[in-house]
Amino acid sequence: MERNCTSDGFFFAVKEVSLLDQGGKGKQSIYQLEQEISLLSQLEHENIVRYYGTNKDDSKLYIFLELVTKGSLLSLYQKYHLQESQASVYTKQILNGLKYLHEQNVVHRDIKCANILVDVHGSVKIADFGLAKATKLNDVKSCRGTPFWMAPEVVNWKNEGYGLATDIWSLGCTVLEMLTRRPPYSHLEGATKLNDVKSFKGTLRWMAPEVFNQKNEGYGLAVNIWSLGCTVLEMLTCRPPYSNMEDGQVISKIYRSEPPDVPDSFSSDARDFILKCLQVNPSDRPTAGELLDHPFVKRPSGPQSPRTSGIQP
């Protein structure tokens, strides 16, 4: 990703992809970018990275996107310790973006801190739509997402499918990630990197269990709710979900529909929000709209509102 500007001083980001023959892997990357372009061109929301257009020459495709200068929530919590009040404001904005996506019947399938960008004003933008899919509920059939953020219904091979609630699970993992500063299940992390397994489209530790379901008939928006829970956990712990486990243990844990551990040190509101996102049954997870009424994200914004210039290491 590079930055550029127009002759009148307007800055934007440029994503470049080679169009030269790169074999099957290269063709898959181009396909995912085309999918991302198709979706982004139809979306317009303040908490979703904005798409400006494309251009190409004989060797490259250029995608012009909104320039978001402060990097991702992952890079932010690696530098600074996020307070619950700051993670709360970020989470509310992520929910606003997810609510809009779900109203368009779009499931993101890879919600995690690395895919949430922060601008200079502290506003967040959901990015990386290469794995997202416009879908009717429960019609997504492939195993896509980042494995450790996957919801149980994605992993559970005996399930009949999964839906929009998968994004909510991943959100829970993301909040956990923010608050612990570690990915979900990070205590199991080892040398084997199952996050790189190509049969999973996304990131393992944030995946809803239903994503692993090989007998499923599809999944939907609930996968994003699981991932959101993992992401909130990530923000508050500053670690990925399941960060104390090796990858193989994480696969087994998600397959058994066991969510990542949520520290007792969190406030009751933060714990309750994450645990609601991490309901094993997708139909038991709240929608993004319902979660906007949760006390964790309805806290009044005060002087600790997360402006990147004011966050303390």
Q: Which of 110, 128, 247, 261 is catalytic?
A: 110
My answer on whether 123 and 169 are in the same domain is: yes
214-236, pLDDT tens digit by residue?
455 456 778 889 999 999 999 99
My answer on whether 211 and 105 are in the same domain is: yes
Model-wide pTM > 0.85: no
136-154, pLDDT tens digit by residue?
333 444 445 666 677 776 6
How many structural domains does the chain have?
2
Q: What is the DSSP letter of 241?
A: S
Instruction: Write down which residue in 67, 95, 116 finishes a domain.
Output: 67
My answer on whether 77 and 220 are in the same domain is: yes
Domain CATH for 261: 1.10.510.10
My answer on whether 37 and 75 are in the same domain is: no
My answer on whether 293 and 145 are in the same domain is: yes
Question: How much is the average pLDDT of 10-36?
Answer: 67
Put residue 2 in one of left, alpha, beta given phi > 0 → left and psi -120 to 50 → alpha: beta
Contacts of 113 (CB under 8 A, 6+ apart): 72, 73, 74, 76, 77, 174, 177, 178, 231, 234, 235
Instruction: Write down which residue in 26, 42, 67 finishes a domain.
Output: 67
Indicate the pLDDT class of residue 156, thresholds 50, 70 and 90. Answer: low
My answer on whether 36 and 75 are in the same domain is: no
Question: How much is the average pLDDT of 248-264?
Answer: 86
Query: Which tokens in the block code for residue 279?
Result: 């309901």
Q: Is 247 a catalytic residue?
A: no
Residue type, 14: V
My answer on whether 169 and 75 are in the same domain is: yes
Report the pLDDT value the prediction gives residue 86, as an integer from 0 to 100. 94
Domain with 35 in it:
1-67
Report the pLDDT value the prediction gives residue 239, as an integer from 0 to 100. 87
Rounded CA separation 286/172 (Å): 11
299-310, pLDDT tens digit by residue?
876 544 444 444
My answer on whether 40 and 157 are in the same domain is: no
My answer on whether 130 and 198 are in the same domain is: yes
pLDDT value at 28 more than 60: yes
My answer on whether 181 and 264 are in the same domain is: yes
Instruction: Write down which residue in 67, 98, 117 finishes a domain.
Output: 67
My answer on whether 60 and 73 are in the same domain is: no
Rounded CA separation 152/156 (Å): 6
My answer on whether 115 and 224 are in the same domain is: yes
Domain CATH for 32: 3.30.200.20
